[in-house]
Amino acid sequence: MQIKVDRDLKVPVYLQIRNQIASMILDGTLRAGQPLPPERTLAQSLGINRSTVVNAYSELKADGLVDSRVGKGTVVLSHLTGEQDKEKYSDPPAWSQFLSHTAERSNESLLRDILELANRRDIISFAAGISGMETDPVEALRGIEEEIVSPACRFALNHTPAEGMPCLRESISELMCARGVEAGPEEILVLSGSQQGIDIAARAFLDPGDVVFVEEPTFFSALQIFRAAGARIIGIPVDARGMRVDLLEQALTRYRPKFIFTVPTFQNPSGTTMDLERRKRLLELAYRRNTFILEDDPYSDLRFEGSRVPLLKELDKNGYVIYLSSFSKLLFPGVRIGWINAPKPMVVQFTKVKQMTDLHADSLSQWIIHRYLRSGGLDAHLSRIIAEYRIKRDIMIDELITDPVREMEWNKPQGGFYLWCRLPDDIPYATLMVKAAERGVAYVSGTAFFQGGKGGNYMRLNFTYPSREEIREGIRRLKAAIRETLQAGERNRTQRERKFGEFEVLR
């Protein structure tokens, strides 16, 4: 590429360069995709400042004749059309460079991977937090669905109000009353699953840098949502009685969170239930500090034994608790219908936030749930699945007790979906996950439920989704994988100690 610069001309040097390169592009001397010399190289060859070349290239970009490509420098673009345009430069767009900070903070695939594993027939999955297929009320819903999609009920496929169908909100209001909460339909917002409620609360309340208190460990999707919102997440430890409200009180002296997120009943992942004394104390602290509580309650109807503990929403008389629940854990996991119960002004605001991403929850699913609730079949269904899940929980515990793994501990939840297991602190959890996968069994590592990569010596095991025989076989495989991992770790430690001892002798 031959460029001449005449300093005696009145035309600025950068325009002389621009005009000559443009002419070479237009007459075909420079072809589409051909790189231009680097700015510094061209400047040195012409004996001019690099800024002059930068200005020339900027003019060419403005004319649409060249563009900057990552790793390729400045390249010529095609200016031709039709058949002559076949040779134009067309690398795939570097879309990842255009992601927002929110999208980058949301770049976690755990939930997608868990759902994929749940649909693989070659894997026994203790990872998925979903109900067992054999307990789904298929027969009860079949007639309802056929009735709804008949020509006489074609309206069921139309849009519904953003807040949800009025008749479903009325049915949910009655369900809340059965749970001990007086909630009018106007205080109900129907969701596409209760997880959407966590996202709506985050969008409504959180700006980047705001503080959120969560239990530690806690529901991993809530952590992902709060991280995506740019929140500062403070973990409050959980013990056998639920969230440590004494530590919460200390934390409240240092931070002012926008809200406190809790799963107080059959907590995900630990399975623990916050006792009544702590629930009352949590509410007292919320009132004193003027802080909302986001109560996620997908499991409280699934109690196998023990006495019922009142919901936080049931105890709250001042409107500080935003309550979330879902039908996905009770009926079909794919029927993504949940709800928020909150004061009416808050429901109005949440509806505005919801409309930005989801006009309304699925109409057909809303009608199915409403008709099912009206049929009166929910109580009988709950009794049936509670009996089955209790058996599955006990089978899993029995398998863990039989020929137990050294130093492995687990809880016995009184309800819900999960066993929370602890392994030796120094177990290489990444190796264990690989060993388990090689044996055809999956679980969720405790690292998903903690901030900062902690929890590698914990695992969450779901007992509701796999069949009874799959639980027996899966636990046997898992124990074998744990033993293999521990033995490999012992061998590695012995080798390191031997090498260190040899080093000491050499010294």
Q: Could you give the angle at the alpha carbon of 164 between the alpha carbons of 177 and 143, nearest 5°?
A: 80
- The structure's pTM equals 0.76
Residues 218 and 263 sit within 8 Å (Cβ to Cβ): yes
pLDDT in tens, 20-30: 998 888 888 88
pLDDT at 96 (0 to 100): 57
Provide mean pLDDT across the span 458-465.
Answer: 96
Around Cβ 125, how many Cβ atoms within 10 Å?
Answer: 23
Name the pLDDT band for 7 (thresholds 50, 70, 90): confident
pLDDT at 140 (0 to 100): 62
Q: Which amino acid is at 180?
A: G
Which residue in the block uniquely carries the two structure tokens 């016995």?
Answer: 412
pLDDT at position 500 over 70: no
List phi, psi (to 5°) of 33: 90, -10
Could you give the angle at which helices 194-205 and 344-355 cross, rounded to 10 degrees?
Answer: 100
Out of 161-175, 354-368, 467-481, 491-505, which region has the weakest mean confidence (pLDDT)? 491-505
pLDDT at 360 (0 to 100): 83
pLDDT in tens, 156-193: 666 778 899 999 999 999 999 999 999 999 999 999 98
Out of 55-69, 106-120, 313-327, 478-492, which region has the weakest mean confidence (pLDDT)? 106-120
pLDDT at 344 (0 to 100): 94
How many helices and strands, by DSSP H and E, does the chain display? Answer: 17, 16
Which residue in the block uniquely carries the two structure tokens 């409403």?
Answer: 370
> Which tops the pLDDT comparison, 283 or 30?
283
Quote the tokens at residue 105: 């903070």
**CB-count exposure of residue 305 (10 Å: 0-12, 13-18, 19+):** exposed
Q: Going from the N-terminus, what domains does the chain have, and what CATH number goes with each?
A: 1-80 (1.10.10.10), 138-377 (3.40.640.10), 380-503 (3.90.1150.10)
pLDDT at position 84 over 50: no
Which of 212, 195, 165 is closest to 296 using CA atoms?
Answer: 195
Q: Which of 137-146, 277-286, 478-487, 489-498 has the highest mean pLDDT?
A: 277-286
pLDDT at 100 (0 to 100): 64
Mean pLDDT taken over the chain: 86
Name the pLDDT band for 232 (thresholds 50, 70, 90): very high
